Structure 1
Amino acid sequence: MFTPQEIQEKTFTKAVFGGYDMQMVDDFLEPLSEDYITLYKENAVLKSKMKVLVEKLEEYRSQEQSMRKAILSAQRTADAMVAEAEKKCARLMSDAASAAQDRSQDAEVIVSQEQERINCAKKAAQNFIDVIERDIRGHLELLESLKKRDMSLELQQQLPPRKPYDYEADEEKPLVVPKSAPKTQPVEKAAPQPAPAEKPAPIPAPAEEPETTEEIAHEIEQNLSRMMDADISSAAPSQPGKASTHADSSTIKFTNLQFGRNYDPTSGT
């Protein structure tokens, strides 16, 4: 390809006959060289641009390869992460289900134990109520017997005192034989026995002032309150889930109860 300088420096030999007009050739070559120079420069610019574009294209192609590799790697990583997340989710779901089942079983056991404790408490309360009712009935019967005793004492006080028996007057009375009795052989009269010495009348003990029913009832109420406090303190079950057997085995002995003047607050009930 000719350069603009070669075109401008090109010379032609003069022909002797039939040659071209030199002025016309110069006039034609001068604008032609200018146009060629313009085209040559534009071509050089385009070539440089094309070179840059080719370099960019190669760079983009290399980036495309790396991007494809990155995309493939990212896809593989994403697939692995998804698979791992699914495994972890399944494991967490399984652990949560097993933990929920264990907690449910523990809750059922706790509910069963608490229900057993409630039943034991109900039984203990019922037994305690039965014992208290039995004690109250016994004390009511005791009060009734005390009332009857008071009534009998009042009746005895209202009756006149009984006279002592006179043995001497009884011996001096003649023996009366009925007329219709059959005759019997005379019995030799035995020698009279000496009269027995008269026994001295026993000295009556000083009568204690009878207690009133109100005082006895007050003492019974005090004894009841002490026994109820002792039963309440020992009626509750000592361990959870086990029934208290204290109310079943506890019985109140009325032989140790003390009333009236014999009551000693320092002695145990």
Structure 2
Amino acid sequence: MFTPQQIQEISFDKVRKGGYDMDSVDEVLEPLTQDYLTLYQENSVLKSKLRILVEKLEEYRRQEGSMKNAILSAQKTSEQMIIDTEKKCAQMLREAEQTAQDKGNTAEVEEERLQAAKQMCDEFFDSMQKRLQQQMELLSKLRTMEPPKEATPAKENRIFDFDTQIAPTEQEREEALIEAIGQNIEERMSAGTLGEIGGMTIRTEPLSAQTQKMPEVPQEHHVATPRKFEDLKFGKNYNPNEN
């Protein structure tokens, strides 16, 4: 393709016969060169624009690929997030249901244990009340109980020896009376009862075991009285001549 400058530099040889008129040729070439120059310049501008457009198109195509990849990645990420969220929600729901069920079971078990404990306490209180009533009845009977009468030994007509025999004191008589009453109570309370209430074993102790736990009655203090008749003598060793 000729450039405008090349066209301007074209020269023709002069001939004498059968040649073109130089002035006529120049008149044609001058406007033709000008038009060609204009077209050439426009063509250059269009080529540069086309090159820019091609570059932009390639850039847009690259961006389009990146955008497509980004969209696909975002889509995959969103789908994975949705799946994970659904799984997590389902797991949380199962855990909540399991926790609620466990709490319900625990509450039922605790309620049963509470009711059992209340029943055990009621039965224990009833048993203790019955035992207390029995003990009160026994104490009431004990107040009206008379000691057993002991057989009085036959009196012998013999001389009482003060050196070898001593009359029983008041304390000894009281101890003998208490022992006789205790034996009578032990005979009445010898049969202890065993009962099982609410898983606990209750034993009714005989009254004799309870009387052993009662505080002892303080003994009366007896003041020893001096003997005024220490020198009295009786029997075969008695000698009236001795002072």
**TM-score, reference length from structure 2:** 0.51
Q: Which amino acid aligns with 2:199?
A: A
In the TM superposition, what is the alpha-carbon distance from 1:97 to its structure 2 partner? 1.6
Query: Which residue is 2:207 aligned to?
Result: 253
| Stretches of structure 2 lacking an aligned partner (at least 5 in a row) | 148-154, 161-165, 175-196, 220-243
Q: Secondary structure at the match of 1:245?
A: strand
How many Å separate the matches in 2 of 1:257 and 1:74?
Answer: 93
How many Å separate the matches in 1 of 2:115 and 2:123?
Answer: 12
How many Å separate the matches in 2 of 1:5 and 1:13?
Answer: 19
Q: 1:96 to 1:254 in 2, by over 3 A?
A: same
Query: Which residue is 1:49 aligned to?
Result: 49
Q: 1:106 to 1:20 in 2, by over 3 A?
A: same
Query: Which residue is 2:144 aligned to?
Result: 145
Query: Contact conserved, 1:4 with 1:36, CA < 8 A, in 2?
Result: yes
Query: Which residue is 2:237 aligned to?
Result: none
Q: Secondary structure at the match of 1:257?
A: helix
How many Å separate the matches in 2 of 1:109 and 1:141?
Answer: 48
Q: Kindly report which structure 2 residues correspond to 1:119-198, keeping only aligned pairs within 5 A, or say none.
A: 119-142=119-142, 144-145=143-144
In the TM superposition, what is the alpha-carbon distance from 1:116 to its structure 2 partner? 1.0
How many Å separate the matches in 2 of 1:66 and 1:101?
Answer: 51
In the TM superposition, what is the alpha-carbon distance from 1:120 to its structure 2 partner? 1.0
Q: Secondary structure at the match of 2:199?
A: coil
Query: Which residue is 2:78 aligned to?
Result: 78
Q: Kindly report which structure 2 residues correspond to 1:212-223, keeping only aligned pairs within 5 A, or say none.
A: none
How many Å separate the matches in 2 of 1:74 and 1:40?
Answer: 50
How many Å separate the matches in 1 of 2:209 and 2:70?
Answer: 101
In the TM superposition, what is the alpha-carbon distance from 1:3 to its structure 2 partner? 1.5
How many Å separate the matches in 1 of 2:63 and 2:210?
Answer: 109
Q: Secondary structure at the match of 1:251?
A: coil
How many Å separate the matches in 2 of 1:257 and 1:44?
Answer: 135
In the TM superposition, what is the alpha-carbon distance from 1:101 to its structure 2 partner? 1.4
Q: Which amino acid aligns with 1:125?
A: F
Q: Secondary structure at the match of 2:205?
A: coil
Query: Which residue is 2:108 aligned to?
Result: 108
How many Å separate the matches in 1 of 2:43 and 2:209?
Answer: 139
| Aligned length, in residue pairs | 180
Query: Contact conserved, 2:4 with 2:37, CA < 8 A, in 1?
Result: yes
Q: 1:208 to 1:66 in 2, by over 3 A?
A: closer
Matched, 1:40 2:40: yes
Query: Which residue is 1:185 aligned to?
Result: none
How many Å separate the matches in 2 of 1:88 and 1:69?
Answer: 28
In the TM superposition, what is the alpha-carbon distance from 1:257 to its structure 2 partner? 1.9
In the TM superposition, what is the alpha-carbon distance from 1:53 to its structure 2 partner? 1.8
Query: Which residue is 1:89 aligned to?
Result: 89
Q: 1:44 to 1:205 in 2, by over 3 A?
A: same
How many Å separate the matches in 2 of 1:49 and 1:18?
Answer: 41
Q: Deviations over 1:50-100 (max 9, x none)?
A: 213212212322432453344235424533442343244324423432343
Query: Contact conserved, 1:135 with 1:252, CA < 8 A, in 2?
Result: no
How many Å separate the matches in 2 of 1:13 and 1:85?
Answer: 91
Query: Contact conserved, 2:4 with 2:36, CA < 8 A, in 1?
Result: yes
Q: Which amino acid aligns with 1:145?
A: T
| Stretches of structure 1 lacking an aligned partner (at least 5 in a row) | 150-196, 212-236, 263-269
In the TM superposition, what is the alpha-carbon distance from 1:14 to its structure 2 partner? 7.1
Q: Which amino acid aligns with 1:250?
A: T
Q: 1:256 to 1:100 in 2, by over 3 A?
A: closer
How many Å separate the matches in 2 of 1:71 and 1:86?
Answer: 22
Q: Which amino acid aligns with 1:29?
A: E
Query: Which residue is 2:68 aligned to?
Result: 68
Query: Which residue is 2:10 aligned to?
Result: 10
Q: Secondary structure at the match of 2:200?
A: coil
Q: 1:37 to 1:250 in 2, by over 3 A?
A: farther
Cα RMSD, aligned residues only = 4.7
Query: Which residue is 2:30 aligned to?
Result: 29
